Structure 1
Amino acid sequence: MKTIAFSLPLISLIFLLSAVLSAARSFDYFYFVQQWPGSMCDTKRGCCYPTTGKPEGTFTIHGLWPNFNDGSYPSSCDKNNLYNASKIKDLLPEMQKTWPTLACPRGDGHKFWAHEWDKHGTCSESILDQHSYFQAALKFQKKANLLSILSDAGIAPDGAFYSTKSIIDAFSNALGVLPSVECNWDESRNPQLYQVYLCVDKHAQDFIDCPFYPKRKCAPEIEFPAF
C-alpha cells in the first residue's frame, strides 16, 4: 500500500487556499429587520431617545444583514473599510428619522450605524458600497411601511393584544411574502410585537420568501404597546 507524502509548504498552501475560498463565500440573501420602538422601550432595560429627539411613532430600521441559506451569516468582513459618515452625509437626515438609536446612554446614531456597517454591511461589498447599503435599507423601509399595513388591518399600537397570526397575515397579504415576527417581554412578562424580519434578494432589489426563518419565540396573542 503506497502512502502519499505532502510537503509542509504544500499543506500550508492548501490551508491558505481553503481560508481564502471560505472568506470569499458569497452570501445568499439579506434579512431586513424593523423594530417597534414602543416594545424596545417598554422593557426592564428601557431605552434612551437619541440626541436628535424622540423618534416618530413608526417601525424603525434595525438592520440589513447578509445571510446564508442555512441560517448562518458572515460577519465583519472588511476591517479596512469601516464606517465613514462622510460617505452617507446626504442620507443622515432621513436616517435620523427612520433608523434612530434607542440605546443608552443616548447618542446621535453614528455608533449604531457604524456597528451595522462594520459587522453586516462590509459583508455585502460585492453588491453594495457603504452609501448603497444604507440607501437600500431606507428604500425597503419605505416599501414595507409596517405601521400603515397594520393600521389598514385594524391593528393599532394601543396596548391591546392581537393574534400573532393576524399580524403575520396582514404583512403577508400586503407584501406578498411571509415575514417572521419576533417578540420581547415587558416588565410584567407580557409578550410584545418587537421585530419583523423580511427577506431581500442578494442584489437588494426586492422582497423574497425567506430561505431560512429565524427561530423566534412568540405567543399566540401579543401586545402592541403605544409609543
Structure 2
Amino acid sequence: MMQPSIMLLLLLLPLLFSAPSTSTARDFDFFYFVLQWPGSFCDTKKSCCYPATGKPTADFSIHGLWPNYADGSYPSNCDRKTPYDSSQIADLTESLRSQWPSLACSGGGESTFWKHEWEKHGTCSESVLDQHAYFGAALRLRNRINLLQSLQDAGIKPDGGSYSLTDISSAIRNGTGFEPKLECNADEGGNQQLYQVSVCVDAKGERLIECPVSTTSNCPSRVEFPPF
C-alpha cells in the first residue's frame, strides 16, 4: 500500500507544474515618483551620453514611477507576460523624449530605458495602470511638478554652488506641498551633489501624498547643485 506522504506528493505535482512562472505582486501602497537632475547624472566619473535628439533641457527629468509597500519594501519584475511594447505609447513618444530622456551611454537609448522601467516597475502596477496609463501618469505628474522653479524661487540655482540640504527640502516642500526624499551622488572630485528627488503618490498614480515611509536622505548637510 502506498504511503500517505507519497500519495500527497503525487496529488500536488500537477499543481506545482501548472503554477505560473512569473511572480505577481500583492497590492502595493503607493508610488515613488522619481525625478533626476541631468547635471548630476553627467557630472560623475561615469559621465553621460546625450540622446539622438540632442542635449535635453536643463531641468529635472523623470527617472521612474515605482510601486512601493508601506513597510519600505517594493515589488519588481512582476509579469513577464506583458513585455514592453512601444506601439502602445506611440502617441506619448514625443513627450517622453522631452520629459523622460535617457542619458546612459550603455546603448539602446530611450527605448531601452523605458523598457527597463516598465518591465521592472510598471508591470507591478498593472492592477491599476496598463502600459499606456503608466507612462501617461508619469507625464502628468511631471507636468504638475516644477522642482527647478521651486528651488530657484528659494535662491537655489544650478550654478555649482553649495546649498543647505534643509533649504533644498524646504523649497521643494513649499512648491509641492509635501516632504521630498532627496538622494545625492558624487562628482568627479568626490563632492556630494543633489541627484534625485522623490515624492510619494497615491496607488492610483494621481495625487501627491505624504510618504508613508521614512524620507531619510543619503546626502550630507550641504550639497552642490551643478549646472547642466
Structure 2 length-normalised TM:
0.90
Q: Which blocks of at least 5 consecutive residues in structure 2 are unaligned?
A: none
Contact kept, 8 Å, 1:49 with 1:55, in 2: the verdict is: yes
CA distance in 2, matches of 1:14, 1:168: 52
Contact kept, 8 Å, 2:141 with 2:206, in 1: the verdict is: no
Counterpart residue number, 2:147: 146
CA pair 169-104 structure 1, distance change in 2 beyond 3 A = same
CA distance in 1, matches of 2:155, 2:14: 61
SS at match of 2:155: coil
Counterpart residue number, 1:30: 31
SS at match of 1:102: coil
CA distance in 1, matches of 2:91, 2:200: 26
Q: Across the two proteins, how many residue pairs are aligned to each other?
A: 223
Tell me which stretches of 4 or more aligned residues in structure 1 moved more than 2 Å. Answer: 4-16, 105-108, 213-216
Counterpart residue number, 1:202: 203
- Amino acid aligned to 1:30: F
Q: CA RMSD in A?
A: 2.4
Q: Which blocks of at least 5 consecutive residues in structure 1 are unaligned?
A: none
**Are 1:167 and 2:173 matched, yes or no?**
no
CA pair 47-198 structure 1, distance change in 2 beyond 3 A = same
CA distance in 2, matches of 1:141, 1:88: 17
**Are 1:187 and 2:165 matched, yes or no?**
no
Counterpart residue number, 1:45: 46
CA distance in 1, matches of 2:67, 2:210: 15
SS at match of 1:7: helix
Counterpart residue number, 1:132: 133
Contact kept, 8 Å, 1:51 with 1:106, in 2: the verdict is: no
Contact kept, 8 Å, 1:71 with 1:214, in 2: the verdict is: no
Counterpart residue number, 2:116: 115
Q: What is the correspondence of 1:70-85 to structure 2 with a 5 Å cutoff?
A: 70-85=71-86
Contact kept, 8 Å, 2:25 with 2:75, in 1: the verdict is: no
Counterpart residue number, 2:105: 104
Cα shift at 1:108: 3.9
Structure 1 length-normalised TM:
0.90
Counterpart residue number, 1:217: 218
Instruction: Decide which moves more: 105-114 or 138-147.
Output: 105-114
SS at match of 1:195: strand
Contact kept, 8 Å, 2:34 with 2:62, in 1: the verdict is: yes
Deviation readout 1:158-183 (Å, 9 max, x if unpaired): 00010000000011122111111000
Cα shift at 1:127: 0.4
Deviation readout 1:162-209 (Å, 9 max, x if unpaired): 000000001112211111100001111111000001110001110111
Contact kept, 8 Å, 1:29 with 1:202, in 2: the verdict is: yes
- Amino acid aligned to 1:32: F
Contact kept, 8 Å, 1:51 with 1:107, in 2: the verdict is: no
